Chains A and B, each alone.
Chain A
Amino acid sequence: MALLELPSWAALAPMLLLLATALVLFVVDSIRPGETGRGLLAGIATVGSLASLGVAVWFIVAGVGQPGLEGLGVVELFDGQLVVDQMALYFTIVVAVVTALVAIASYDYMDGHAYQAEYYSLVMLAATGMATMAAANSLVTIFIALELASLPSYALVSILKDNRGSVEGGLKYFLIGALSSAIFVYGISLVYGVTGSLQLTAIADTIAAGDADPYGGLLGLGIVMLIGGFAFKTASVPFHFWAPDAYEGAPAPISAFLSSASKAAGFVIAFRVFTEAFPVGATADLIGLDWTLAFVILAIVTMTVGNFAAATQNNVKRMLAYSSVGHAGYALIGLAGLGADGGELVMGAAMMHLLVYGFMNTGAFLFVALAEHWGVGRTFEDYSGLGRRAPVACFALAIFMFSLAGIPPLGGFWSKYFLFSAAIDAGLLLVAAALVINSALSLYYYSRLVKAVWFDEPLADRDALAQPIGLYTAIVIAAVVTVLLLPAFGPVSETAVEAAAIVVG
């Protein structure tokens, strides 16, 4: 394949394309500052993220990242600071997909807002950071990538400068983000102090060789702090408090972006760090504790807290924010099962869930963006009767909600089922039970939204609702893919489990 002749850094193409798009947007805007048409900006962002998606899909199909494939195998760059394997490509795909959907939807949503070019380039920069997170293979690159993803996100949340909620959400996000960055970096320094290396495989080697022996407790502390850092990024308990406020205040496409892409990127860090740097057996011997236990507890607590909080919300955006906390809990199962045989199945299932989630959750938030575009208000009551006016969008919403709730036959059911069966296989009965109970619970608040738009009578007579083309396109694509993922589960599950198996080793 032609890929053989490319230099090895070309494996970073999906990430570099996102970065280049951000820079092109800056250039385009600087030619005629503030006057460039929004269509052009949104178009560039969309094309850029689609190009990145295309290249990532091509790589994964062509076999980049598969060990044992001459010349195309796992590509390590910069002395192993970055690694392009199946997992990196898989998560780059998730990020690129969400970015593309957000860019398309923003065409309408950002209509009339100031700072359009800045908005799109910040989105692309944050996406670059997330894609780098997927490929980062040392604690330093992880931290840099994390910050590259976070800093634009803070700005994006508060980009509606005249809106108090937006500024407040951005501020909260920034403060908690800064705090968790500090914790994360402290954790890195402890791990470095104990093992003397930052590269993930080198850390594992040191632990396995017994060179870190007297400092097990210190290493344990470092690990806990690392967990804190990515718990923030994935909005897992106890670092989830920022999520509802930030998601509620942020422009709705940004809420979609953060809750889908940023969360997936947070998980890829966790997946990589805890499989590559801290193999369960050796680490447990050293620190005297099996870290999967922490994730068992974290998973159960996160899904329960998220679901119960979501059930009591009256504001649709906050409900979705808490539900995304709940879904972080489901994805955490991927880490909880790593200690057992078949750990790669559990992690593969979690990766599949994150992909499905990327579509259904983005779609749900984009529906909220559509509702904000219409100006119909934010509570469940405000949404009532929308089905009469906008059947296609509301039908898509029903798909997203039932899929999020895990109602068969939609994508969400299958990824949850695979999580469930893999968890049972790995002996995590308690977690599997929590997954089922929480899923059943979640039907209550998801179906409430479906009931509101389809069954309830509208509170007031509404004028004909606009049909913004960008938002509609994005929502319909998300809905169609949520359904079409079903026949595509074969290749997706194979890729995910294969990618997980490579990392788990």
Chain B
Amino acid sequence: MMIEMLIAVALLGAAVVFVAPNRYAGKLAFLISLVPATLSLWMYTAFDGSGNALLGGDLAYETQLEWLTFGDYAISWFVGLDGISLPLVVLTTILTTLAIVSSWTPIDERESQFYGLVLFIEANLIGVFAALDFFVWFIFWEAVLIPMYLLIGVWGGPRRKYAAIKFFVYTNVASLVMFGAFIALVFGLGDAVTSFALPEVTAAMLDGGPEGLFGVGGTTLASIVFVAMFLGFAVKVPVVPFHTWLPDAHVEAPTPASVLLAGVLLKMGTYALLRFNFTMFPHEVVEPFLVPIGVVAVVSVIYGAMLALAQTDLKRIVAYSSVSSMGYVILGLIALTQFGVGGATFQMVSHGLISGLMFMAVGVIYNATHTRMVTDMSGMADRMPVAVGILIAGSFGYMGLPLMSGFAAEYFIFFGAFGAAFDYAPLFTALAMFGIVIVAGYLLFAMQRAVFGPYSLETDYEVTRAPLHDIAPMFVLLGLIIALGVAPDLIFEMITDAVDPILENGGEL
């Protein structure tokens, strides 16, 4: 019942905070969020699962309860963790706690509602990573949308309404495409499945696949569903050309919402890609799409980085760089090798930490200066040495400096992708690696303009050092980034344990 406990604490906490007085809301939310964070760390140390959740592995903290039956299909409350989902659950709980602390300064109106929504998102994110029944999973997946829509729309920047609605429409349409595709798949599987439990659907898929639906043949149906689901998840990731909601949402969102958006929400997309597209479908269905997806991944890496290079808004730079980083994840996934898929999962965690750190650092600087334009800033290092130091450290993480988690993640992905079996794999990998150069370029360029040189910011505000509670969460993140960089096996071992069955099953490429 550990997973239920995490979700319940966050949900009840959300309700309590929502009606609490504004003055105490932030502290109260922090205290409540410590519970899931501590529990999930304990779950990490006591983790005893093995294998892949969808491929008959032993799950940790599993619960399966009958829920309802409609027509021929049963739906059950089915949750559990394997080596892929556990790190993401821990990432969620820790980032939520840190995001709450980092919002104490910037959020100064309607606090209780704000923190209530943040805890509500946390509950649903945990649910997304833990759920193993399609319907339960989908409920959590969609329940993330509404609070995020409100967070952006109510507490966001000047163009918040546009950004919130764009975010909502893009991701909701994508979800429905994916939902329709999955339902078509289950109907197409016919009598082979009697429930929406993902392991059962996976087993049926790998054991013969769909019979067909409405005159569409089984193989064709599987391919159509693969594409529709890929599109549905690709918007969430996001990959080029479905990325345009991301910079808008990020730039308008308040800092803590950006932290959660980049840190965890984007991972929902890649996590779902890994779970659905690259675990459920047999090798024959996936193979023809590897090269097109590879193109998309490489384009996302390079184009995202180029877009970041062209920005002058610090937050936009970080936002676009997410497009680029998530492109690496896709590249790792299609490699279908232990290092590729494992590295992609590792990168999900690593990018969650690093982008969270970057958004927090940008937020702290914005709070002090009320500008995010690198063209306006100069010599920030003199006034805010600690915050700027962390920003630089985060940038190094992004660039993949050894001994930081970004390096380990990218190394695994490139190593895995270079040896992948699909056509032109070395070429794609080489092109994607070039992205690192651009990343280094735009980050160093931005640093050089904003951080160094003489202080020249013209503003009515006095720019001073940030308070401790703004800085502390970033140190925690930095510590985690370095820990994972120095000892990737903290999570990489459990990840590969869960990844290996996928590869055996698909026939290692």
* Chain A residues near B (Cβ < 8 Å): 342, 345, 349, 387-388, 391-392, 395, 398, 402, 407-409, 413, 418, 421-422, 424-425, 440, 447, 451, 454-455, 486-487, 489-491, 493-494, 497
Say whether B71 contacts A408, CB under 8 Å: no
Select B68's contact among A398, A402, A421, A494, beta carbons within 8 Å: A494
A408–B179 contact, CB under 8 A?
yes
A422 pairs with B138, CB closer than 8 A:
no
Provide the B131-169 mask, 1 if CB < 8 A to any CB of A, else 0. Answer: 000000011111101100010011000001100110010
Which residues of the other chain, A, contact B160 by a CB distance below 8 angstroms? 455
User: Interface residues of A: mostly helix, strand, loop or mixed?
Assistant: helix
Sorted nearest first, the 7 A-B pairs with minimum C-beta distance are: A490-B68, A409-B139, A408-B142, A455-B153, A409-B143, A409-B142, A455-B161
Residues A421 and B154 in contact in the complex (CB < 8 Å), given A392-B18, A395-B18, A486-B139 = no
Is A455 a contact of B154 with CB atoms below 8 Å? Answer: yes
Contact of B138 among A408, A447, A489 (CB under 8 A): A408
Kindly list 12 other residue pairs between chains A and B, CB separation below 8 angstroms, not including A407-B145, A455-B153, A490-B66.
Answer: A345-B71, A407-B142, A407-B146, A407-B172, A408-B139, A408-B142, A418-B70, A422-B71, A454-B153, A455-B164, A489-B68, A490-B67
- Indicate if the CB atoms of A494 and B69 lie closer than 8 Å: yes
Chain B residues touching A, majority SS: helix
Residues of B within 8 Å of A392, CB to CB, are: 18-19
Known interface pairs A451-B161, A454-B150, A455-B164. Does A497 touch B70 (Cβ–Cβ under 8 Å)? Answer: yes
- Flag whether B23 is at the interface (Cβ < 8 A): no
Number of A-B contacts (CB under 8 A): 71
CB-based nearest B residue for A420: B183
A418→B145 CA distance, assembly (Å):
22
Q: How far is the CB of A445 from chain B (nearest CB, A)?
A: 14
Of the listed residues B66, B70, B146, B168, the one surrounded by the most CB atoms of chain A closer than 10 A to its CB is: B70
- Bound complex: CA of A395 vs CA of B18, how far in Å? 10
Any A CB within 8 A of the CB of B277:
no
Chain A residues in 8 Å Cβ range of B113: 391, 395
Partner of B110, one of A388, A425, A440, A490: A388
Cβ of B175 under 8 Å from chain A:
yes
B170 to chain A, nearest CB (A): 13
Nearest CB in chain A: distance from B183 CB, A: 7
Provide the bound-state CA to CA distance between A301 and B414, in Å: 56
Q: Are the C-beta atoms of B161 and A387 separated by less than 8 Å? A: no
Contact with A along B164-189 (1 / 0, CB 8 A): 11001000100110010001000100
Residues of A near B139 (CB, < 8 A) are: 408-409, 486
Cα distance, A497 to B71, chains bound together (Å): 9
Chain B residues with CB below 8 A from A387, complex form: 154
- A352 (CB) vs chain B CBs: closest residue: B70
**Cα A408 to Cα B128 with chains together (Å):** 14
Q: Which residues of B contact A345 (CB under 8 A)?
A: 70-71
Residues of B within 8 A of A402 (CB): 146
What residues on A are CB-neighbors of B161 within 8 Å?
A: 451, 455
Q: A421-B71, A493-B68, A494-B69 are in contact. Are A451 and B153 (CB under 8 A)?
A: yes
Among A425, A440, A490, the residue within 8 A (CB) of B71 is A425
A425 CA to B179 CA in the complex, in Å? Answer: 17
B140 cross-chain contacts in A, Cβ below 8 A: 409
| Candidates B67, B69, B141, B154; contact of A454 at CB < 8 Å | B154
Residue of A nearest to B77 (CB): A487
- Chain B residues with Cβ below 8 Å from A451 are 153, 161, 165
Q: Is the CB of B19 within 8 A of A493?
A: no
Q: Which residues of A contact B66 (CB under 8 A)?
A: 490
User: Which one of A409, A424, A490 has the highest number of Cβ atoms from chain B below 10 Å of its Cβ?
Assistant: A409
CA distance A497 to B139 in the complex (A): 22
* B150 near A398: Cβ-Cβ < 8 Å: yes
Q: Could you say which residues of chain A place their CB within 8 Å of the CB of B71?
A: 342, 345, 421-422, 425
